[in-house]
Amino acid sequence: MTKTYLKLAGAVALTALAGCSGGGSSGGGIDIGPVGGGSAPPEQGDNPPVNNFAPNATGQSMTIDPGSFPVPSGNNMSSGTTEAQFTLNDDDTITAKFKRWGNTIEKTLTYYPEAGTASDGAEVFMTIRTEDGKPLLAVIDAVYDPELEGYYAYRSTEGLTENMPQNGTASYTGSIDGFATTDISSMYLDRGGFYADVDFGDSSLKGRISGWKNSVSFDGAINGSEFKSIPGTIALAAGVNSETVDIGPPGYTTTVTRPVAASTSFADQSASSVEGAFYGDAAKAMAGTYAIEGAGPAASARLLGGFVATRGEIQQ
């Protein structure tokens, strides 16, 4: 996995936070092809019209509520669904077309490779995760873009498993890329682990998202090669619901704050969801997105992101 930088043509810049370059995705995945070097393409104007919108990625968003002060936080962001179309251009640039939930707004952004850092004044950032060189996940920070105003996570709708295992169990291990907040402060970049135990015969799974200050567990139901969390099973352990403890031997203790046990009462079950799909031969990989809104003592918690994981051996 290599670090790749992407920048947006026009007035708004884009830099990939941690992309993965690989071969083309003729066998599936978000069809953006390899990411290579190159110069900036011509200016496109403020917002050219979107034509021939044919989404090849689906996912979830966390956008700033209308009329809210434009600083993303736990008390002014709401989740929704979204679609996108990713296309590799002849000059190795990537064009992404978006349709935001709740609106008919469509926007085209074109990204081109350029070395740089997140401190170059960029307003939009994108992370791409791949499996076997095929992009499966795109996570986008567009909270300061005047039209997108939020965070977006997409998984590919191409390359889904056609030969799903019919029995046996397997464990999946992977990583997450996303954004989170545990209170009314700004959202922060969140990375961590993803784990799932899948029962193919029962068409069920148990998953866990482990972020920096938050963790989420859920039960999921498999339908074909896709899955979705079962309403009422999402349990959130957020840093806002924490306890302070001393660890280490006497005289050398360190005080740390850790989340208390996860609870379904800490997540807004009607507004939260985890969804995804299996990819490759015999469900070799999985990818998905999550949007979690807190409830009760964790009402200000917000989590938005995606995950990619690979399967271990199937146990019969």
pLDDT digits (tens, 9 = 90+) for 104-137: 556 677 766 554 444 444 556 777 888 887 889 9
Which pair of tokens denotes residue 27? Answer: 């066998």
Average pLDDT over residues 74-103: 76
CA–CA distance, 106 with 68 (Å, rounded to integer): 21
Q: Which of 180, 127, 156, 130 is nearest to 309 (CA)?
A: 130
Range of weakest confidence among 38-52, 94-108, 205-219: 38-52
Tell me the pLDDT band of 195, cut-offs 50, 70 and 90.
very high
pLDDT tens, residue by residue, 265-309: 999 999 999 999 999 999 999 999 999 999 988 888 899 999 999
- Rounded to 5 degrees, φ, ψ at 265 are -75, -10
* Residue found by looking up tokens 């302070």 in the block: 244
Q: Which fold has domain 169-311?
A: Porin (2.40.160)
CA–CA distance, 282 with 31 (Å, rounded to integer): 21
pLDDT tens, residue by residue, 171-193: 999 999 999 987 656 788 899 99
- Could you give the count of Cα atoms lying within 13 Å of 19 in the half-sphere of its Cβ? 29
Q: CB–CB of 199/316 below 8 Å? A: no
Determine how β-strand 6-8 pairs with β-strand 14-16.
unpaired
Which pair of tokens denotes residue 250? Answer: 């006497």
* Residue found by looking up tokens 């957020």 in the block: 238
CA–CA distance, 68 with 222 (Å, rounded to integer): 37
User: Between 138 and 163, where is the model more confident?
Assistant: 163
CA–CA distance, 46 with 154 (Å, rounded to integer): 24
Tell me the pLDDT band of 256, cut-offs 50, 70 and 90.
low
User: Between 286 and 245, where is the model more confident?
Assistant: 286
Q: How far is CA 32 from CA 13, 132, 201, in A?
A: 19, 14, 34
Determine how β-strand 14-16 pairs with β-strand 124-131.
parallel
- Highest mean pLDDT pick, 18-27, 209-218, 243-252: 209-218
User: In the chain, at which residue ranges do the beta strands (DSSP E only) sit?
Assistant: 6-8, 14-16, 57-64, 77-88, 94-100, 106-113, 124-131, 134-142, 150-156, 169-181, 188-199, 204-210, 215-223, 226-229, 235-237, 242-247, 254-259, 273-279, 285-293, 302-311
Instruction: Please state, rounded to an integer, the average pLDDT across all residues of the chain.
Output: 75
- What is the location of CATH 2.40.160 in the chain? 169-311
Q: First and final CA of the chain: distance in angstroms?
A: 32
CA–CA distance, 283 with 161 (Å, rounded to integer): 6
- 281: helix, strand or coil: helix
CA–CA distance, 11 with 244 (Å, rounded to integer): 46
User: Between 202 and 115, where is the model more confident?
Assistant: 202
CA–CA distance, 80 with 89 (Å, rounded to integer): 29
CA–CA distance, 84 with 95 (Å, rounded to integer): 10
- Would you tell me how many other CB atoms lie within 10 Å of the CB of residue 37? 10
Q: Which of 150, 146, 144 is nearest to 100 (CA)?
A: 150
DSSP state of 39: P
